[in-house]
Amino acid sequence: MARLAAVRDETPTARTLVLDVPDWPGHLAGQHVDVRLTAADGYSTQRSFSIASAPSGDGQVELTVQRVAGGEVSPYLADVFAVDDPVELRGPVGGWFVWRPEDPSPVVLVAGGSGIVPLMAMIRTRAGVGSRVPFRLVYSVRAPEDVIYADELRRRTRDDRGLDVAYVYSRQTPEGWPRPPGRIGLATLAEHGWPPDFAPACFVCGPTAFVETAADILVAQGHEPRRIKTERFGPTGPVASGG
């Protein structure tokens, strides 16, 4: 049984939930938890949510939830779920979409919207263990106000050696941005990712269509398909799976 300890608003539509989870066994960066909600009439539903935090050892786990209009779980978690409320969790689970600090390969992270969440866990874990593995994050958002963890990313770009962050704005750019808004393309990943001969580990997370586009670009660039790990969360859903 987990309990909500605190909330942090990240953007107008995304909120971080800090959960107290007794006996949390620790987790790997990129793993998720399944969250189950049950209504008074017994109807029950579950969704997967990526873990946002690095393993901490203090029994706390952070999820960041993007509110999805018409979703049945994310609006509850983002708007109704209150401090001290209990929630059923299962996890941590998933051993595929994970970054392990002992892997020396350079890393390319490609995030679409709230797909940043498990990738942020990787960035935080890298800093937490003092890793010098070079990380490059390409983060696509609709508009500047949709950037989750904006302040932390700004700080880490300055302080975490070997971390580069590039932004792609698909609908609206910040003032004075040198390029018009547009979707992620070959040029962006060629400029801000790693060349295939560096054999980087590639992690792509976002809405299904975004993930497919980004993964296709990485394959076209010459990255080995088995080095490209993806996590889709549905057309517009929250992190990991559906609304």
Partner 1 sequence: MTVSWSGSAPTEGPGAHASRADEHIDGNALAGSLREVFAVDVTVASGRCVGCGRVDTVAGLVLYTQAPGLVARCPGCDGVVLRLVRGPDRAWLDLRGVTALEIPLRP
Nearest CB to partner 1, comparing residues 160 and 231:
231
Contact call for residues 122 and 29 (beta carbons, < 8 A):
yes
Q: Count each helix (H run) and each strand (E run) in the chain, helices first.
A: 5, 11
d(CA 206, CA 52): 14
Residue 20, interface with partner 1 (CB under 8 A)? no
Selected from 5, 7, 34, 227, the binder of partner 1 by CB under 8 A is: 34
103 binds partner 1 (CB under 8 A): no
Cβ-based burial of 221 (10 A; exposed 0-12, middle 13-18, buried ≥19): middle
Q: For residue 14, what is the enclosing H or E element?
A: strand 14-20
Stretch of 93-101, 103-111, 163-171, 177-185 lying at the interface with partner 1 (CB under 8 A): 93-101
Query: How far apart are the C-alpha atoms of 9 and 25, rounded to whole Å?
Result: 27
Q: What are phi and psi of 51, to 5 degrees?
A: -80, 130
63 touching partner 1, by CB under 8 A? no
Distance, in Å, from the CA atom of 223 to the CA atom of 231, rounded to the nearest integer, reads 17
Q: Which of residues 160-199 bind partner 1 (CB under 8 A)?
A: none
Count of residues in contact with partner 1, rule CB under 8 A:
53
Closer CB to partner 1, 27 or 192, in the complex: 27
Q: How far is the C-alpha of 48 from the C-alpha of 114, rounded, in Å?
A: 13
Does the protein bind partner 1 through residue 32 (CB under 8 A)? Answer: yes
| Identity of the residue, 118 or 134, whose beta carbon is nearer to partner 1 in the bound complex | 118
Minimum CB distance to partner 1 smaller for 92 or for 200: 92
Residues 66-85 binding partner 1 (CB under 8 A) are: 70-73, 75-76, 80-81, 85
3-state secondary structure at position 220: helix
Q: Does 44 bind partner 1 (CB under 8 A)?
A: yes
C-alpha span between 207 and 232 (Å, rounded) = 6
Q: Is 126 in the site for partner 1 (CB under 8 A)?
A: no
Binding residue (CB under 8 A) for partner 1 from 92, 106, 115, 193: 92
102 binds partner 1 (CB under 8 A): no
In the complex, least distance from residue 150 CB atom to partner 1, rounded to whole angstroms: 26
Task: Give the residue ranges of DSSP H helices in the chain.
Answer: 74-75, 116-128, 150-159, 186-192, 208-221
Which one, of 118, 89, 91, lies nearest residue 25 by Cα? Answer: 91
Question: Which of 202/240 has CB closer to partner 1?
Answer: 240
Considering the rule CB under 8 A, would residue 235 count as an interface residue with partner 1?
Answer: yes
Q: Kindly report the backbone phi and psi dihedral angles of residue 45, in degrees, each rounded to the nearest multiple of 5, phi listed first.
A: -145, 155
Binding residues for partner 1 (CB under 8 A): 1-2, 21, 23-25, 32-34, 36-41, 43-45, 48, 70-73, 75-76, 80-81, 85-97, 208, 229-235, 237, 240-243
